[in-house]
Structure 1
Amino acid sequence: MLEINHFSKSFKGDKKVVEDLNLKVEAGDLYGFIGHNGAGKTTTIKAIVGILDFEEGEIKINNLSIKDNAVACKQMMAYIPDNPDLYEHLTGIQYINFIGDLFGVSQSQRERLISQYANEFEIMDRLGDLISSYSHGMKQKLAIISALIHKPKLLILDEPFVGLDPKAAHTLKEIMKDFCANGGSIFFSTHVLEVAEKLCNKIAIIKAGRLMMSGETATVKGTSSLEDVFLELVRNE
């Protein structure tokens, strides 16, 4: 579903922020992308979703190049940044319907999925309020609902649990597991190593722009915890 081949990115000729990254996310994968601040996680994610251009390497969504087939790729995926930048002059329901219109979502599908996810996140009674009145956590919930209503094949999430209360975080984890169990794929960055260890079937660890380790979670962590493996890699480098 997602292939990253020899991807590198630098800014203004400086040292490469990401260097020769190779990853593959297959259907059903719940793939965690781990690294410290500045490791290159967000740069990689923004390149995957077509926000950042790049000169080296190739990124494909379902065998289509994000550079050559940007619209077709974006129709198959949804992106949720760590700090959702929503149209705050709209109400929650207006924003969701705006996204639904962009993706050509039928009225019956959007009504069904809005009801499902808004009730799960307990914000149904706030959808008529202006987004400007929402907390960060509520904006995150709205962004998640908006990402899911067109039934994407691939979800790209950057620190999705930031700002969510424990109950909402649990709800999101269950949604992510169901999404992948039904054939979807998720690639997400997180600093919460315990969550990644319990939730993900695959893990990639990046440091200073270079891939340090990747593969099945059980293989990556071995007999240690993911936290121990990550800290050991950091110390050794």
Structure 2
Amino acid sequence: MAPAMSAAPGMPPLNPAAAVSIRGLYKRFGDKVAVNGLSMDIPVGSFYGLVGPNGAGKTTSLNMLTGLLKPDGGSAMVLGQEVWANVNQVKQAIGVMPQTDQIFDRLTGMQLLIYAGMLRGMKRPEAMRRATDLLAAFDLAQAANKMVADYSAGMTKKICLAAAMIHSPRLLVLDEPFESVDPVSSANLKDILVEYASTGGTVIISSHVMALVEKMCTHVAVISDGQVKAAGTVAQVANGEDLEDRFLQLVGGRHSAAHLSWLNGGGAGQSGNCGQGPVPQTTAPAMPQTPTLAPHPAGDSAGFGEPR
């Protein structure tokens, strides 16, 4: 059994009552610090959104708290168990949506879900029953016997989410679950996840879509440069402002487009000359007259007809 990693000195202890408790998580890849002292508590039964710009450390943080990636420092507790001291038990209690390039896509949708259930220790009949229910819930019943490799991007995303849910985990961890999903399927997924959270399950999602997070989530953490810039309920983090405006205040990086003054959408006098100023008026040179070709008389050998 791997030894537990302790939190950094001076930090409060891990909170065993939280669904997820993180203290001082740190991860470096070469010269790049991906996560730099991340700390937060995620309440049981919450719908928790992790938001941040690309490269902020969201996916790396999720991989560490789910036992997929070992941190270089700090500690994480999931449902009262320290992750790296009890990694197998932690993995059994959570559902992680796999990336679409990490699944066995030569299986059919039904086969993939049965495999996912049996991998979690379920008997085949129960795995098959739950797979049937999930395929119906995700509007994939008609594609149950179709290879996942032939699914659309949105269908593949849905089968990955179904695979994460088949063993009825207490915690769902979903990295960009609504990416490439059509609006109708997205609404159905939201309903399923909200219902799951209402029964006491905890959902953690990462997303770039502020409107979705503001509408669905009860809590949110804004992450930038591998650190938590703000965390709490959505109302607390928004602080009376639109969540997207608040996000931009916290992470920065918004630039004026004034230096693109040449980008004018083809305004008057600019069309077709790459913004080099008004197009000069020129007179096209006269073209030489083309002689009129009279038809050849019948039987003329210069013509292409047969002589009469």
Tell me the TM-score range normalised by the shorter chain: over 0.9
1:63-114 Cα distance to aligned partner (Å, 9 max, x none):
2122121110000001114545210221111111111111122456434433
Equivalent in the alignment of 2:196: 179
Name the residue aligned to 1:227.
244
Could you say which structure has the greater relative contact order, defined with CA pairs below 8 angstroms and 6 or more residues apart? 1
Aligned partner of residue 89 in structure 2, secondary structure? helix
SS in 1 for 2:159: helix
Determine the structure 2 residue equivalent to 1:126: 143
2:70 to 53, 71, 83: 53
**Aligned residue for 1:27?**
44
- 1:99 aligned counterpart, secondary structure: helix
Aligned counterparts of 2:133 and 2:47: Cα–Cα separation in 1: 22
Greater shift, 119-128 or 156-165, is seen at 119-128
For 2:223, the equivalent position in structure 1 comes to 206
Q: Which residue of 1 aligns with 2:22?
A: 4
Output the CA distance in 2 between the equivalents of 1:199 and 1:221. 14
Tell me how many residue pairs correspond in the alignment.
Answer: 236
Q: 2: distance between equivalents of 1:236 and 1:52?
A: 29
Q: Deviations over 1:5-48 (max 9, x none)?
A: 11111112x24211111111121110000000000001101111
Q: 1:156 to 1:136 in 2, by over 3 A?
A: same
**Matched-pair contact (CA < 8 Å) for 1:77–1:155:** yes
Q: Which runs of 5+ in 2 are unaligned?
A: 1-18, 255-308
Pick from 58, 81, 92: which aligns with 1:41?
58
Match of 1:165 in 2: 182
Distance change in 2, residues 1:236/1:96 (3 Å): closer
Distance across 2 between alignment mates of 1:20 and 1:175: 33
| 2:264 equivalent in structure 1 | none
Asked if 2 retains the 8 angstrom alpha-carbon contact of 1:197 and 1:217, the reply is: yes
Alpha-carbon separation, structure 2, partners of 1:82 and 1:47: 16
Higher strand share: 1
Q: Please tell me whether the aligned partners of residues 48 and 218 of structure 2 are also in contact (alpha carbons under 8 angstroms).
A: yes
Larger radius of gyration between Structure 1 and Structure 2: 2
Match of 2:165 in 1: 148
Q: How does 1:110-125 map to 2 (within 5 A)?
A: 110-125=127-142
Normalised TM-score (structure 2)? 0.73
**Offset of residue 216 of structure 1:** 0.8
CA–CA separation in structure 2 for the residues paired with 1:163 and 1:81:
15
Q: Which amino acid aligns with 1:231?
A: L
> Is the partner of 1:186 in helix, strand or coil?
strand
What do you get for the CA RMSD once the two structures are aligned? 1.7
- Structure 1: any 5+ residue segments left out of the alignment? none
Return the alpha-carbon distance in structure 1 between the equivalents of residues 47 and 101 of structure 2.
21
Q: How does 1:97-116 map to 2 (within 5 A)?
A: 97-107=114-124, 109-116=126-133
